[in-house]
Amino acid sequence: MTPSSCHGLVEQAGLRSRDGRISRPGPAGSLGVAEPAVTEVERRLADTPFDAPDSNELATLRLGRRELAAAERAGRLLRITDDVVLLPSAPQQAIQRLAGLTQPFTLSQARQALGTTRRVAVPLLEYLDAEGYTERLPDSTRRVRAR
């Protein structure tokens, strides 16, 4: 079986797969003392999905690598880089917005469509490229890949 066919079976069974782990969908257990801070980040990102808190804000919330890793394992947050944290739904939301742009699009056009900063747009686009959602072209523009 290929990884993609296994992924399809996992979805058909009503389960989710993340980082090689299969689990039931739904709320994960509490994140202990980090729970209120993670909830705050989730609330903020629900309103503005690409307004990732910066490293100073994460430090103020006392969300370090360990807490962010736990939130990611629980399916609550997605770490694009060590200091760019978004909701797990962000890649799909980004693709929907980027698909509405004239293809190919520039980094600046993507940043504007997502309503975010270069600090967030660059690693998010690199993540989308690596996941196969977008493709970087030789002239540094990108396009959404048909799926």
On whether the CB atoms of residues 109 and 144 are closer than 8 A, the answer is no
**Bridge partners, 97 (sequence order):** none
Q: Which residues contact 76 (CB under 8 A, 6 or more apart)?
A: 28, 31, 38, 42, 88
- CATH number of 123's domain: 1.10.10.10
pTM to 2 decimal places: 0.78
The structural domain count of the chain equals: 2
- Residue 75, pLDDT above cutoff 60: yes
3-state secondary structure of 14: coil
Q: Is the domain of 122 the same as that of 104? A: yes
User: Do 112 and 135 belong to one domain?
Assistant: yes
Q: What is the pLDDT of residue 146?
A: 82
Give residue for tokens 């917005």: 97
- Domain of residue 39: give its range: 30-86
How does pLDDT run across 100-145, given as a tens digit for each residue? 999 999 999 999 999 999 999 999 999 999 999 999 999 999 999 9
Q: Please tell me the predicted confidence (pLDDT) of residue 12.
A: 76
Residues pairing with 70 in the sheet:
none
pLDDT at 19: 56
CA atoms of 93 and 95, how far apart (whole Å): 5
Per residue in 7-56, pLDDT tens?
567 677 776 665 565 655 655 557 888 999 999 999 999 999 999 999 99
Residue 86 structure tokens: 């978004």
> What pLDDT score was predicted for residue 78?
97
